[in-house]
Amino acid sequence: MIRPLVVSLILAVNFLSAADWPTFRGADRTDMSTETGLLKTWPADGPKRVWLNENAGVGYSGFAVVEGTLYTMGARDAVEYVIAIDAATGREKWSAEAGALLTNGFGDGPRSTPTVEGGKVYALSGKGALVCLDAAEGKEVWRVSMTEQLGGKVPGWGYCESPLISGENVIVTPGGAQGTVAAFNKSTGEKAWQSEGWTDGAQYASAIVAEFNGERQIIQLTMQSVAGVNAANGDLLWKTEFPGKTAVIPTPIFSQGQVFVAAGYGVGCKSVKIGPGNTVEEVYSNTDMVNHHGGVILHEGNLYGYSDKGGWTCMDFKSGAVKWQEKKALGKGAIHYADGMFYCLEEKTGTVALIEASSEGWKEKSRFTLSPQTTQRSPKGMIWTHPVVSGGKLFLRDQELLFCFDVIGK
């Protein structure tokens, strides 16, 4: 039997609570919060704002929230920093240098979300510096370069993935001839392996960990393919073509042996079934979920996310059949799940809509628009940082502005 494997962030770290959100899309990378007791409607002007931090630096980095501290990244002047903020007050605790500034027409600065595990913070700069820091004080433990040490090449919009913890290793995707995926000992920074049998260049997706018949594997997506490699040694287990265009961004989804991937720019989605002996069989391929970068969530057998083709979409995971689409209610953006509700963030306006997680249609309960909004954002940039609910709080970002809202109403 194939089943999802909860990332060892939960299994091995006793201090993580249900409210913690230790990496991009949560501990198991499903973007499904386990919190309960949250508000099902908001006041007309939105949930109560708890605090606003106006000095997080520019960039699109998301949030990890562990033991009352929020970790993110931001660029100040010509340096990218990992930043720790008190989640209750919004006050900065410390900042530590991650790497030199990534410059880009769509906005300078980091895109990666830090990963927190075992009292350490792992973060990836836009130019490919992977740093390990002490979570309490921000002191550097070790660092490696995706380009200089691993043969990687910085993608056009910079390195964007969030490091993945698997057992004793931290997993990243340098890409290139030395191997698409690499693993380092999370304590020492010593390289454990690099996937010599898979050498696609890096794109922008964050990898996931899964287990197939007792064998742990890392699943990642590139411009050419989606593949699984052995988590212990990096050997290629299976691979199937997925020809992307321009950029491939969304995180893969795995459930009961079935893998789902998607991309924007007209590409659409594909789902495959992994069989005995790591055989791969295509289940479906279509353009009903052309998900650019806002993410897709699997909830109770259905996929939810924004499709460039049909708008907000609910699609059957196993078959790929569309159950509903809604394009007029809210524009393109990111999605997050908590307590039976989806938090949908529109990229152009900063409008946040609260809708029921329902396969029967778009059932909106409340909405509000983020205010104030940054004046530092590139004219080409939008509000692309994904929403996160942790500890009864909704965290949002528009460049240097970090927002915290009370969504538990206590």
User: Six-digit token pair at 90?
Assistant: 């919004």
pLDDT at 9: 37
Tokens 């409340």 sit on residue: 366
Q: Which element (helix H / strand E) includes 11? A: helix 8-12
Q: In this predicted model, what pLDDT tens digit does every residue of 263-315 receive, in sequence order?
A: 999 999 999 999 999 999 999 999 999 999 999 999 999 999 999 999 999 99
Nearest one of 93, 163, 94 to 128, comparing CA atoms: 163
Residue 4 has pLDDT above 70, yes or no: no
Task: pLDDT band for 147, please (50, 70, 90 cuts).
Answer: very high
Q: In this predicted model, what pLDDT tens digit does every residue of 15-47 receive, in sequence order?
A: 445 579 999 999 999 999 999 999 999 999 999
The CATH number for 162's domain is 2.140.10.10
Q: DSSP labels for 323-338?
A: EEEESSSS-SEEEEEE
Nearest one of 253, 304, 337 to 35, comparing CA atoms: 337
Q: What is the torsional sign of CA 238, 160, 385, 22?
A: positive
Domain range enclosing 377: 2-406
pLDDT at 18: 54
Tokens 């006793």 sit on residue: 14
The answer to whether 383 and 393 have CB atoms below 8 angstroms apart is: no
Q: In this predicted model, what pLDDT tens digit does every residue of 204-234 receive, in sequence order?
A: 999 999 998 789 999 999 999 999 999 999 9
The answer to whether 252 and 220 have CB atoms below 8 angstroms apart is: yes
User: Six-digit token pair at 258?
Assistant: 């079935």
Q: How far apart are CA 230 and CA 25, in angstroms?
A: 22
Would you give the DSSP letter of residue 372?
S
Q: What is the torsional sign of CA 241, 242, 245, 247?
A: negative
- Average pLDDT, whole number, for the chain? 94
Q: Which element (helix H / strand E) includes 227? A: strand 225-230
How many domains would you assign to the chain?
Answer: 1
CA within 13 Å, CB half, 237 = 26
Residue 11 has pLDDT above 70, yes or no: no
Q: In this predicted model, what pLDDT tens digit does every residue of 60-119 receive, in sequence order?
A: 999 999 999 999 999 999 999 999 999 999 999 999 999 999 999 999 999 999 999 999
Predicted TM-score (pTM) of this structure: 0.94
The answer to whether 173 and 132 have CB atoms below 8 angstroms apart is: no
Residues 326-350 have a mean pLDDT of 98
Largest CA distance in the chain: 55
Q: How far apart are CA 110 and CA 395, in angstroms?
A: 18
